[in-house]
Amino acid sequence: MVADATDGVLESARAWLAQDPDAVTRHELAALIDQASGTGEGSVTPEAAAGALAELHSRFDTRLEFGTAGLRGEIGAGSNRMNRVLVAQAAAGLAAYLLEKAQPGVTPSVVIGYDGRTNSDVFARDSAEIMAGAGVRAILLPRLLPTPVLAFAVRHFDVSAGVMVTASHNPPRDNGYKVYLGGAHQGSQIVAPADGEIAAHILRFAAERSVLDAPRRTDYQVATDEVVDSYIIATVADVPRPEAQVSSVYTAMHGVGWETAQRVFQNAGFDAPACVAEQIAPDAAFPTVAFPNPEEPGAMDLAFARAREVGAEIVIANDPDADRLAVAIPSAGPGSEGGWRRLSGNEVGYLLGWQAAEHARAAGIGGTLVCTIVSSPALRAVAGDYGLDFVETLTGFKWVSRVPGILYGYEEALGYLVNPGTVRDKDGISAALAFLSLASELKTRGSTIADRLDEFTARFGHFASDQISIRVTDLADIARVMALLRESPPTKIGGVPVERIDDLLGGFGDLAPSDVLRIRLADGSRVMVRPSGTEPKLKIYIDASSTEGSVAERRASATGRVSALAEGMTLLIG
């Protein structure tokens, strides 16, 4: 039986090696095969052979699953890694799907973008060549660009689909493949059943053909800078010229945001931010951060140092593909980092939502404010106060962007959709501009973002949030925790009785099935538990609010309850 398993993985590895067009991953895989089979030069210890065999099983016993988040994983050889073979199979499968769905006599089309991660440009060109070879009209963006530009390009070029090669804020060794659909989908990310149908085409191609047999054409179209210019024009179109300039610091987190962001700020009339020089240019190694995610501890330390140096009023950070935004403001209070406090995604989210509601009222229009189920209930309060509709969706902008009549949407993981007429995805650049505009409006009134947060508490109540993020090395650990919570649900958390638990695994109301537990407590607070969709993490979201007493009393009440619940969940999960 062991010999059969060994023979099977070696056979899979050799078949993969035979079709791999990448010299780097070919060399890597050939060395593993030689070590595992003992056929290489020199002697191989039993321990080395066993280690190589275990590595082959890790790479070939399964494959990266294509789903509503597309593909995402570590770069390397094998079906369970990101590489040119896997990407070629994905491109061929997506092309087959687009051809299948095309109307008679209509040639399907795709626009492809890429960021600065390792092999992003290679994966993008492979995709363009294979799409074109399959009979799909392919357009490649002119150079590495932010994800929001690709999302914009899907509608701008009126294509059938879009592909963005990026792993966003994942660890440096990762890359990914994100798919959007045009037409009736208006440039939103894929959802079911499209994900399953595309996956079936990918698996069919992988089972029946070598990627070396896929027809390729190099005469695909390369877009000009006109698409970037058009994105910038559309992004600044509805933003008023600033009456007061705001001193800011910007970091691209070693990503691709700066070139486009600086042009957006300039065209909108804002002074150029002071840059974090060490992080401003694309660098696939992400040398100054442990994780290229502005939510992670230490990721914004260089930005805070630069802000202290220039006396900035606000810090702006995009993640590496610039679809997320982080903001920090001066603070000497609790939670400050060297005189700066990172605002939570919820704080930025409900401030921008309030701004959107005010603009809608001034324009005399209605619409819908949208957030995900794990985001703060604060946006619901804003919508109610302004007579706007409110919708909660499952996590992910593939759901947020599809809500009819959307005016604005956000998710607490630093994602904001402030311009649904331009981009149907989170956009860290347009959100940064909207936040700068808000700061400028406040400054003309002699006010600050900190003051605005207090105004929010006074008007709508204080909404406190916290998140516990548990990173694992074995994904089975997450499944075990979720199973335990379902089999032995808690009756109290942090001393507060549990009133109800909504298990979304079988769907709930208008929400599609999702591996999420929503725990409602007797004092009106809420705990959400779910696996991350993009990283090996278990995520726990905690929310509480207060409308009683002064601003300080409301803040103290809500934050105290959140702290107690966080302690209770930590004890519960272990």
Q: Which residues are catalytic?
A: 168
Please, what is the Cα angle at 126 between 121 and 127, to 5 degrees? 100
- What's the token pair of residue 39? 């056929």
Q: Is the peptide bond before 193 cis (omega within 30 degrees of 0)?
A: yes
Greatest CA separation for the chain: 78
**Cα-based distances in Å from 77 to 13, 87, 218, 336:** 9, 11, 25, 43
The alpha carbon dihedral of 36, 37, 43, 47 has a sign of positive
Sorted by sequence, the CB contacts under 8 Å of residue 266 that are 6+ apart come out as: 272
- Annotate 203-233 with three-state secondary structure: HHHHHHCCHHHCCCCCCCEECCCHHHHHHHH
Spatial distance between the Cα atoms of 165 and 321, rounded to a whole number of angstroms: 10
Q: Are 357 and 382 in contact (CB under 8 A)?
A: yes
CA dihedral 266, 272, 275, 277 (to 10 degrees): 70
Query: Which of 107, 114, 108, 131 lies closest to 217, judged by CA?
Result: 131
- What's the token pair of residue 113? 């973008």
- What's the token pair of residue 210? 């070598």
C-beta atoms surrounding 480 within 10 Å: 13
Q: Are 516 and 540 in contact (CB under 8 A)?
A: no
- What's the token pair of residue 440? 């400028």
Write out the DSSP string of 314-337: EEEEE-TTS--EEEEEE--STT-S
DSSP assignment, residue 170?
A: S
